[in-house]
Amino acid sequence: MPNVMEMSPEEIELAITKGKLVFSIYGLGWMGLPTACLYAEKGARVIGVDINSRVIERIRSGESHIEEPNLQVLIKNTINKNFRVASDIKEAASISDIMIIVVPTLINEKRKPDYSAIEKVSREIGLKMNQGCIIIVESTVGPGITDSIVKNALESSSGFKAGADFGLAYSPIRAMAGRALHDIRKYPRIVGGINRKSAEVASIILKAIVSGEIIYTKNIISAETTKLFENIYRDANIALANELSIFCEKSRIDFKEIKEAANTQPYCHLHEPGIGVGGHCIPYNPYFLIDVAEEIGVELKLTKNARKINDRMPNHIVKMIKRALRYCRKSLKRSKIAVLGISYRANVKEIKNSPAYKIVNMLLAKGAKVLVYDPYFRAQEMKEMHIPFTESLEKCIDGADCVVFTVSHDFFKNLNPKNIVRVLRKPACVIDGCRIFNPEDVKRKDVIYYGTGLGLQS
Ligand SMILES: NC(=O)c1ccc[n+]([C@@H]2O[C@H](COP(=O)([O-])OP(=O)(O)OC[C@H]3O[C@@H](n4cnc5c(N)ncnc54)[C@H](O)[C@@H]3O)[C@@H](O)[C@H]2O)c1
């Protein structure tokens, strides 16, 4: 059989579904595990590789370590059949035709990119990979990183030349945790290659699981930059919404009303304000571009400011809580504060960079008695993170001086605000960080409502 780089598109398609080409997926996290399962579902032979032994054991026993709808079924149907897991990067590389890198790319304390995982995995793959294979990088990286760090590590440890001896392509994952299977399957996919052949082979491989359009960029650097621009666009627009909503809170203007009216103009797309931005992408990825821009003497002022504005939102919410309590003639220190929601996003069990987590820690540091409830989490999981948590909503809000809604889980939206208000220790306040209630349903003579983008309503 010819190697994958020599096959025709039809031969690649057939060889994938017949299990004739071996895939290794490096990094079995929120994005890597769904990717591995989608290929296994198509009949491909897949080795999922991860350095975390707990992750490997869970998947090997047929369980998912992340809460992703429908993922569990895919694992059960394929694990230990055409999908196996391993921790030996080199061994997997030695028998693989197609290698997909989805390891974490992070920032350090100084907000500088940390590409150590991607460099390490590339170096190890290079030690054992075979001529004629293809490597597709799917982790989010700054412009030029695949062509420098990844390519150099692969070439120096293998002695092969990218583009001549093996294929190299970059295709960012544009999915969101909690809907990864759906997004990976359906969203259009960006692909850039070290040469035309690499991009074409990568696109055939991607098409096996992606029904969305495949969009070629001129090269790898453009594909890397596309993903970062998407994230920065979103971050900047959320920052704009947050900034304008703070203005509205002080001006007795309702941001929500203005947003709905303004967005009827076809070029206006005001986003939702909130308590800050969390998750795996936006809090990190803008720094990948900021770093490269600084190296070439370009200051990305708006990008940096957007990060600052969104990072300050948890602090703003704590100020809102303080102000509302003061209005009730209470202090933070003596108050019981019920925080409803710890996830970073609605209807998802994920706490990474959650602004709600930051708010809880700030309130605790100021001496408040905090109790957290979130229908997606169990008390045991929160214990490890030192979060005062209860699995009972009733216990959380009973006798609270202040209730803070941080995330618009459907569960919270379906609550009757009157039942919440009834059990509070009056005078009390409700802080609606995600505008899920009508203020009129909350307000009473001894209960005030404070909404983002609306301000204090007594
Ligand atoms: N999570 C998201 O919403 C999302 C969306 C789009 C893109 N991305 C990008 O995808 C990449 C992966 O993110 P994630 O959220 O899946 O990460 P994650 O933290 O959920 O999982 C990463 C996995 O990689 C493993 N790992 C670390 N170093 C390794 C190595 N050297 N070899 C093998 N495995 C290793 C870890 O043990 C972990 O299980 C990142 O670049 C991220 O920016 C993430």
Which residue's CA is the nearest one to ligand 1's atom 27?
103
Judge whether 132 and 166 are in contact, CB under 8 Å. Answer: yes
Active site residue 352: no
Judge whether 72 and 78 are in contact, CB under 8 Å. Answer: no
Q: Which fold has domain 304-457?
A: Rossmann fold (3.40.50)
Distance from the alpha carbon of residue 334 to the mean position of ligand 1, in angstroms = 41
**CB-based burial label for 288 (10 Å; 0-12, 13-18, 19+):** buried
Which residue's CA is the nearest one to ligand 1's atom 26?
27
CB atoms within 10 A of CB 48: 29
Please identify which of the residues 37, 133, 281, 434 carries the catalytic annotation: 281
Active site residue 268: no
Instruction: Give the C-alpha separation, 430 to 256, whole Å.
Output: 18
DSSP run (H or E) holding 113 = strand 113-114
Query: In the prediction, which pLDDT does 456 show?
Result: 87
Distance from the alpha carbon of residue 114 to the mean position of ligand 1, in angstroms = 13
Instruction: Give the C-alpha separation, 207 to 254, whole Å.
Output: 46
Which residue's CA is the nearest one to ligand 1's atom 21?
29
Atom of ligand 1 nearest to the CA of 52: 37
Instruction: Give the C-alpha separation, 453 to 450, whole Å.
Output: 9
Mutation to probe ligand 1, out of 30, 88, 281 (largest number of atoms < 8 A from CB): 30
Mutation to probe ligand 1, out of 26, 60, 103 (largest number of atoms < 8 A from CB): 103
Atom of ligand 1 nearest to the CA of 284: 43
Which residue's CA is the nearest one to ligand 1's atom 24?
27
Render pLDDT for 166-224 as a digit per residue (tens, 0 to 9): 999 999 999 999 999 999 999 999 999 999 999 999 999 999 999 999 999 999 999 99
Instruction: Give the C-alpha separation, 258 to 414, whole Å.
Output: 25
Which residue's CA is the nearest one to ligand 1's atom 36?
27
Atom of ligand 1 nearest to the CA of 55: 39
Closest by CA position to 180, among listed 77, 28, 42? 28
The angle formed by the CA atoms of residues 168, 2 and 172, to the nearest 5 degrees, is: 25
Q: Which CATH class is domain 4-219?
A: alpha beta
- Extract the runs of DSSP E, i.e. beta strands, from 183-331: 189-193, 214-216
Sorted by sequence, the CB contacts under 8 Å of residue 183 that are 6+ apart come out as 174, 175, 176
Judge whether 83 and 73 are in contact, CB under 8 Å. Answer: no
Please identify which of the residues 227, 330, 336, 358 carries the catalytic annotation: 227
**Residue listed under structure tokens 């359906």:** 186
User: Cα torsion at 433, 436, 437, 443 (round to 10°)?
Assistant: -10
Distance from the alpha carbon of residue 6 to the mean position of ligand 1, in angstroms = 30
Render pLDDT for 400-444 as a digit per residue (tens, 0 to 9): 999 999 999 999 999 999 999 999 999 999 999 999 999 999 999
Q: What is the percentage of the chain residues whose pLDDT exceeds 70?
A: 100
- φ/ψ of residue 8, rounded to 5: -80, 160
Distance from the alpha carbon of residue 290 to the mean position of ligand 1, in angstroms = 21
Judge whether 168 and 151 are in contact, CB under 8 Å. Answer: yes
Atom of ligand 1 nearest to the CA of 139: 41
Residues of the chain predicted below pLDDT 50? none
The amino acid sitting at 431 is I
Residues with CB under 6 A from ligand 1: 26-32, 49-52, 55, 89, 102-105, 117, 120-121, 139-140, 173, 175-177, 279-281
Distance from the alpha carbon of residue 278 to the mean position of ligand 1, in angstroms = 16
Distance from the alpha carbon of residue 181 to the mean position of ligand 1, in angstroms = 15
- Domains of the chain, residue spans: 4-219, 304-457
Render pLDDT for 346-378 as a digit per residue (tens, 0 to 9): 999 999 999 999 999 999 999 999 999 999 999
DSSP letter assigned to residue 363: H
Closest by CA position to 360, among listed 379, 344, 339, 376? 339
- CATH topology of 4-219 equal to that of 304-457? yes
For CA atoms 95, 106, 281, 286, give the dihedral sign. negative
Atom of ligand 1 nearest to the CA of 124: 31
Distance from the alpha carbon of residue 117 to the mean position of ligand 1, in angstroms = 9
Which residue's CA is the nearest one to ligand 1's atom 13?
104
Distance from the alpha carbon of residue 199 to the mean position of ligand 1, in angstroms = 23
Closest by CA position to 356, among listed 371, 369, 339? 339
Closest by CA position to 238, among listed 453, 406, 450? 453
Atom of ligand 1 nearest to the CA of 176: 3
Mutation to probe ligand 1, out of 59, 101, 280, 352 (largest number of atoms < 8 A from CB): 280
- pTM across the whole model: 0.96
Query: In the prediction, which pLDDT does 319 show?
Result: 97
